[in-house]
């Protein structure tokens, strides 16, 4: 087959161009959008609207998760509900219950193990509490799917059972100490997501600190062996020395280097019998 498109010597004519066809299509799509809006008495939101090019129809499918990602009316009025969208920030919190039966050929073989991780956050950043309330009401299945996907291998291979409990919208995480104590008394292992996050952050901070200490120790060893002033002016080691150590420590290391050189020079030389022949 051969392509029918080819270059011609005819000048551009908008009335015969694809641009005109596209503009006509855009105008028609917009006309149908306005028509849909009129029928809905203005209760529509662009982010929830989809246009089907096959049947030429607009459809609106409300999903509060879309609001969490795209809403630009925080502190204003919702285009869909015509109600205020609160400036107050919050999140969607929920608990995840995981249960399974041990199959490890030990004394505890056949024992059911139940753990609950409480206070998991759905969003990484805070959202309008108005949107969070709608997500907590309407998006429970999506949250359940997300958590079950996280345990996909365990569910498939080990028979884990994953449940999402107590989905709620809050400005900050709340804890029920009495319920925690009751769960622990019932043999359930309880952890709080915020505690795990803090522990993870502290561990990462400690790991970074140890790694930095190792880098500094390695650099100081190199400065004693080579000398700060023997490094190239813009070398990475010299830049790091200026940034990490400071003038006082560099001076101290230079003194240690001079002392080591002096000790090496003053070290007595042991002659062998072969040197004396």
DSSP strand pairing (89-101 vs 112-121): antiparallel
Closest to 103 (Cα-Cα) out of 23, 158, 48, 37: 158
How far is it, in rounded angstroms, from Cα 103 to Cα 101?
Answer: 6
Whole-number pLDDT of residue 17: 87
For the four alpha carbons of 232, 237, 239 and 241, in that order, the dihedral sign comes to negative
Can you tell me which residue has the tokens 């795990």? 196
Beta-bridge partners for 96: 117, 164
For residue 146, list its beta bridge partners. none
Bridge-based pairing state of the strands 161-170 and 89-101:
antiparallel
Mean pLDDT of all residues in 13-17: 87
Closest CA relative to residue 77, chosen from 43, 36, 34, 47: 43
Instruction: With beta carbons less than 8 A apart as the criterion, state whether 166 and 95 touch.
Output: yes
Q: What is the secondary structure of 11-61 as a DSSP string?
A: PP-GGGSHHHHHHHHHHHHHHHHHHHHHHTTT---GGGEEEETTTTEEEE-
> Has residue 51 got a pLDDT over 90?
yes
* Percent of the chain clearing pLDDT 70 (strictly above): 96
What are 77-127's pLDDT values in tens digits?
999 999 999 999 999 999 999 999 988 778 778 888 999 999 999 999 999
Q: Each residue of 24-48: pLDDT tens digit?
A: 999 999 999 999 999 999 999 999 9
Q: What angle do CA 47, 52, 53 make, to 5 degrees?
A: 125
């Amino acid at each position: 087959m051969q392509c029918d498109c080819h270059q011609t010597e005819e000048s551009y004519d908008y009335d015969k161009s694809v641009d005109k066809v596209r503009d006509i299509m855009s105008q028609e799509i917009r006309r149908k959008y306005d028509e849909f809006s009129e029928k809905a008495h203005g209760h529509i939101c662009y982010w929830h609207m989809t246009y089907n090019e096959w049947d030429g129809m607009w459809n609106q499918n409300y999903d509060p998760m879309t609001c969490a990602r795209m809403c630009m009316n925080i502190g204003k009025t919702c285009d869909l509900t015509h109600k205020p969208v609160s400036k107050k920030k919050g999140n969607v919190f929920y608990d995840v219950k995981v249960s399974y039966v041990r199959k490890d050929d030990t004394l505890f073989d056949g024992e059911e193990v139940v753990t609950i991780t409480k206070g998991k956050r759905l969003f990484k950043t805070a959202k309008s509490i108005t949107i969070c309330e709608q997500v907590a009401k309407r998006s429970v299945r999506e949250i359940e799917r997300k958590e079950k996907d996280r345990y996909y291998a365990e569910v498939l291979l080990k028979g884990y059972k994953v449940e999402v409990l107590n989905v709620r919208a809050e400005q900050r995480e709340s804890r029920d100490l009495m319920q925690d104590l009751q769960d622990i008394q019932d043999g359930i292992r309880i952890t709080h997501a915020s505690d795990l996050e803090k522990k993870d952050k502290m561990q990462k901070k400690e790991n970074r600190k140890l790694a930095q200490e190792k880098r500094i120790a390695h650099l100081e060893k190199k400065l004693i062996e080579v000398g700060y002033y023997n490094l190239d002016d813009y070398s990475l080691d010299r830049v790091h020395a200026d940034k990490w150590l400071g003038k006082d420590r560099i001076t101290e290391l230079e003194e240690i280097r001079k002392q080591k050189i002096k000790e090496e020079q003053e070290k007595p030389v042991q002659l062998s019998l072969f040197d004396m022949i």
